[in-house]
Chain A
């Protein structure tokens, strides 16, 4: 029986990759464990090993092909005693391999934001991944200011666990791109000390899940020192890294810390969605004289958005953005939550509901005025986030709307959040635990009293 070799998923969030090189050719005998190909993901080049024994009957995807979806058949192996030409034919007549496996990650891709009033007219836009945008932001800031440096686990020689710091070591050297031991509490504190001493560290956490080891230094040392010193001693530092659920990494690696950090006076907390905002906000975070928590998302890293080609593109901290104007209901979200919201807004249009969509971008300070202006217009609000419901950003937004726009509300504020459970591993349960587009639509229908 011929066996198909499928494009493997080489990381929890990989959806496609480049078939960089074949190390076998048609007619080669292979056995399990042989390296047969090299595949480039957006994070690394990986070797693919054969699982079965047999003879290579057909190469279905040429080397050098980019964007090969996970689970696409890339070659056919004739089993022992099998005829390789039969196998090749069988493969040719077989139904096409299923199109990738877009079920993972769960979050859908939304449309690009509408024209951005922050971008000067006529500016060239460059399609850029969030990953590249973050890297570019750091590189630009490091070129501009010798006091800016990056420190964290695997940021230098490994080029970043998620390849956000790719290329920085080559350009800036080991003095400014610093690999640490696995010692979050220690290097977070060291970074805060360096910031108190006048440097401008960018501390990368491999994920914010690991920053819980360091949260005392972030809150007690970074956030409070300016106040405790009567304004003498500021702490210009950025803590950044992926936050929230990735895909199938379960409870200890899937937590959204937005509301944890947003709770703390002295911190600025950012969670961008688009690449343009990721770049512009990270640059502003590095400029900030205050400690900034910069929450990224692994699923967004590989997504493309247009980024304005400008010498110094920055996005102000603390300023939400109306991504889509609308009149019937206000949808408020941030970070990857925007993926649900933008998709839901499109579908709601088909139902005759015109949603206004707000991307908070910064969750502390909360740009409540932008939300209130919208709610006063629409009279209805749905908040959407991947955090847990209790003491969430939604709790805060809902409360402030009640305090400041109570008389404008035509329905109670609704929220769509992760379920109040630790993140399960099983694919179906994970999907249930996360918010969904359907839930956003249901909530919007409920607050607009649409059947």
Chain B
């Protein structure tokens, strides 16, 4: 279970609670049920998380070789969040996120080859090499980016949810952002409109404990980010974002709330990134022990692996073979990303206007 420091001042769980807010919709705040997964679900979650992990490791490697340039923010450690949420979606639901986006793309079904080739800036990349790590999109997979300005995706995701209402569909928009972005003003402008107009948007705050090098405690006056919707009367939950089953269960609740026309919902995913903020971040602001503890005790993939073995739903050999498949897929993607040509120089001048 991921934990985070709570201060008496902000938790105030005793009988001295004096806030006058009379909220009826804030439910089940700290009691997330854990969804029981079937064997198929466990295996699918395992494979999807593994794909992200191996993909990101390879991306880190290619970055080190100078094949990926610029900024590259890895998702390692946070895989359960996006994989669990994706399991709760149905076709037509949209996904949008910030710049730590490779995992989201793979989870929505975008091909590893196209994502990796975009990272290396090649013509076969999802944006023809013109977007890079932070700017990829797939209309087909309902993935709306990939946005490089911290928090900017939040109004955009709210607008996608507006589209669902305008069109009269029952689709829901998942709008991901981090603990750092949760202090941007436009997030609250979005919360207000989303609640005012009952927009079907799940705001997923991926709290990996650090906005770049600044811990949540040093950046946020109230470290319980699930309460950030309180003044808009948006219900929020804290979720163990290292457990894919907890994520899926919370996702089910949040999405059902949205589909029922009750407006937005906030899920604060308590998670952790193993790597630095970006490839160039040595992450000196936290101890090696802290990282090691998360890796050994709370790793999202190891948890599923252990359950699969314990329940004898899979043997070591089977898991090894799955790992081999995933490595093969990632290896192919990396190969493609290195051999695919760079964009034709004429591409400089295309796609500025339709």
Contact = CB atoms under 8 A, between A and B. Distances in A.
A217 B176 CA distance: 17
A107 to B, nearest CB: 32
A190 B354 contact: no
B160 interface: yes
Q: How large is the interface on A (under 10, 10 to 19, 20 to 34, 35 or more residues)?
A: 35 or more
Interface in B196-226: 196
A190 B135 contact: no
Interface of A: 149, 175, 180-181, 183, 185-199, 216-217, 220-221, 225-234, 265-266, 268, 288-290
B37 to A, nearest CB: 32
Given A185-B186, A268-B353, A230 B127 contact: yes
B34 interface: no
Contacts of A180: 193
Nearest to B130: A230
Interface in B127-163: 127-131, 135-139, 144-149, 152, 154-163
A229 B135 contact: yes
A46 B194 CA distance: 35
A149 B107 CA distance: 33
Nearest to A265: B352
B145 A189 contact: no
A320 B83 CA distance: 53
Given A181-B193, A187-B193, A189-B190, A216 B162 contact: no
B281 interface: no
B66 interface: no
Nearest to A220: B149
Interface of B: 94, 96, 125-131, 135-139, 144-149, 152, 154-164, 166, 185-186, 189-190, 192-193, 196, 350-354
Given A192-B156, A216-B152, A229-B127, A186 B139 contact: no
A145 to B, nearest CB: 13
Contacts of B186: 185-186, 189, 217
Contacts of B149: 216, 220-221
B155 A189 contact: yes
Given A187-B189, A190-B156, A230-B125, 9 more contacts: A181-B193, A187-B193, A191-B159, A196-B160, A199-B166, A217-B156, A220-B148, A225-B137, A225-B145
Contacts of B196: 181
A315 B190 CA distance: 35
Nearest to B199: A190
Contacts of A229: 126-127, 131, 135-137, 145, 351
Contacts of B129: 230
B138 A227 contact: no
A200 to B, nearest CB: 11
Contacts of B185: 185
Contact of A193 (B127, B131, B137, B155): B155
20 contacts: A175-B166, A181-B196, A183-B192, A185-B189, A187-B155, A189-B152, A189-B156, A189-B190, A191-B159, A193-B96, A193-B156, A193-B160, A194-B166, A217-B152, A220-B149, A228-B130, A228-B137, A229-B351, A230-B351, A289-B354
Nearest to B192: A181
B163 A221 contact: no
Most buried by B among A193, A232, A233, A268: A193
Contacts of A195: 159
A187 B192 CA distance: 10
B193 A266 contact: no
